[in-house]
Chains A and B, each alone.
Chain A
Amino acid sequence: MSREAFVNAAILLALLAVPLWALANDEPFTITLATRAAILALAGVGLNVALGLGGLVSLGHAVFFGIGGYAMGVLASHAQSYDPIMEAPFLIEGTKSMPIIWIAALVTSAIAALGIGALSLRTSGVYFIMITLAFGQMAYYFAIGWPAYGGEDGLSIYVRNGFPGLNTLDPIQFFAIAYTLLLLALLLVWRLSKSPFGLALNAARQSAARVETAGIRPYTLRLTAFVISGALTGLAGALFADLNRFVSPSMLSWQTSGEIMVFIILGGVGRLCAPVAGAGMFVLLEHWLGGTGEFWHIWLGAILLFVVLFARGGLIGALAGRGRTDG
């Protein structure tokens, strides 16, 4: 087992151990914090497909996070009011079933990623960053202005959605769901990174000319990565909304995009488990510093600045030694 694999295992075990400890000590709030970390990590794992593997600095991933959230909000709110989403040409009813909501979140955010990616990937570098940011803002304003689903105020649901055989209102059971999905996503991304697709995508990040000359279009590789990336982040959005039983345009805001990216840099760019380490750190900082004063973002900013300027490897880099990007 390599040192990084060891660190990864330790991080994932820590994320599992915290809520189990909290369960034993009857601290449900800590379980919720761990659930929050797992879900945010999942959003980061999604972004990491585009950012880490593909080198695509997307500042618009809040779009997919938000679409996942609204997929949950729309389906669940229609289900709780027994009012079908549409009746013609065919009947679509709301649902309170998590698996169906997840599929809806995956599909809708994948479609959005296909559209946004197809346009944004015509450009590269700094244009790509600005354009993804702009599309994010476009979705944000759309959500604020669209009155049917709460507009600026967002959308609440009364009861958390259900999963067959589980009681999702029990914090530890909902944590188990989030944690399992996180592990599955990590497994998927790990396999992806070793696959021919991952090899080609990773090579396209380093030399697009080489990949194209080998007969593979970098555009198609990147668009595929962007769609997978958006879909995973969308799934995280659905879970996040379910955790809070609330979805609002703030899930689509550019700050959310920035924060998802922050998870990756705090953990260490180019590392499989970076989003898990980063999201864990983020939630801890938010909890501790948020408790000591209301200006905790100053400290978050200072830590982020320090990591970017002086500790490029992030947390995993510090624990596991040199990796791809600091070599």
Chain B
Amino acid sequence: MDSVLQARTLSKSFGALRACDGVDLDLRTGEIHALIGPNGAGKSTLIKLLAGSLTPDTGSVHIDGTDVTREGVAARARRGIARTFQVSALAMEDTVLQNALLGAIGARRSAFRFLRPALRDEQARMTAEAALARVGLSDAARTPVAQLSHGQRRQLEVAVALAQSPRAFVMDEPMAGLGETGSAEMTALLDGLRHEAPILLVEHDMRAVFALADRISVLVAGAVIASGTPTEIRADEAVRRAYLGEEA
């Protein structure tokens, strides 16, 4: 089995609301697996369950075959889950390079070194700089994040994740708030990333989803109602009913 990130019968309720209802999901080597669904379908809950910021009521999460259901966010990150946020979560006063370094430091487990300057750790720095180069932020390395444009911050989110040298990306709406050009650039960037590590992509931009995804899972009311290639999903009756309503 080449499944890097695996969810089995994941369920989570908030009071009477079943936000996640028996979800099975696999993220396989080399793929972009898109997760789509209408607002309130439970995509955010599922991401939190996978990343470890929520604990499921039942079911399990495996990373590379290891059961991580009881592990927190940081522990799963060290196992290779790199998450990006819908609303950029960055150290705004720090420079672009310092933010990218954070990813490298986390992955190298060197956060508890106290006396040598972080910038003198050549390997961490090279990893961080390579990640910045990959997303096109090399020129902005010394710029504080607060001075970046929205689009550049979205790119930096991806760069920090990349600097973690992850086993799998979990990306929450990387296109959020990007214009036409920005979306196209991001699409091109993600397209190349799938060979570094597979991407679980939650995205509302359907053009990007259908352009990028190897497989798509459709989440409605907390449950996966269909899973398959873009062609299969386009043709799926249940999906057409859920998404298009009367048009189906």
Contact = CB atoms under 8 A, between A and B. Distances in A.
A215 B77 CA distance: 5
Given A197-B114, A210-B160, A203 B73 contact: no
Nearest to A187: B115
A203 B109 contact: no
A202 B111 contact: no
B85 to A, nearest CB: 7
B90 A192 contact: no
B107 A215 contact: yes
Interface stretch (B12-20, B37-45, B91-99, B184-192): B91-99
Contact of B111 (A200, A206, A324): A200
Contacts of B205: none
B82 interface: yes
A195 B118 contact: yes
B1 to A, nearest CB: 25
A195 B114 contact: yes
B179 interface: no
B118 A210 contact: no
Given A196-B121, A200-B105, A324 B77 contact: no
Query: By CB atoms of chain B within 10 A, which of A194, A196, A221 has the most?
Result: A196
B94 A195 contact: no
A199 B103 CA distance: 11
A83 B81 CA distance: 59
Contacts of B77: 212-215
A191 B114 contact: yes
A216 B106 CA distance: 6
Interface in A163-183: none
Interface in B99-153: 99, 101-103, 105-107, 109-119, 121, 124, 144, 146
B89 A327 contact: no
Given A191-B115, A195-B115, A196-B110, A203 B94 contact: yes
A198 B74 contact: no
Interface residues of A, number: 27
How many B residues touch the partner, as a band? 35 or more
A217 interface: yes
A260 interface: no
Contacts of B119: 194
B93 A199 contact: no
Query: By CB atoms of chain B within 10 A, which of A203, A213, A220 has the most?
Result: A213
A203 B119 CA distance: 15
A203 B91 contact: yes
A238 to B, nearest CB: 22
A203 B103 contact: no
A202 B94 contact: yes
Contacts of B78: 215
Contacts of A324: 93
A196 B92 contact: no
A135 B83 CA distance: 37
A33 B156 CA distance: 50
A132 interface: no
Contact of A214 (B51, B72, B102, B113): B102
B73 A213 contact: yes
B164 interface: yes
A224 B75 CA distance: 18
B85 A195 contact: no
Interface string B42-85: 00000000010000000000000000000011110110001101
B113 A210 contact: no
Interface of A: 191-192, 194-200, 202-203, 206-207, 209-217, 220-221, 224, 324, 327
12 contacts: A191-B114, A194-B117, A194-B119, A203-B94, A207-B90, A209-B89, A212-B74, A213-B77, A214-B106, A214-B107, A215-B164, A221-B111
Given A199-B98, A199-B102, A216-B106, 7 more contacts: A200-B102, A200-B106, A203-B91, A213-B89, A216-B111, A220-B112, A221-B111
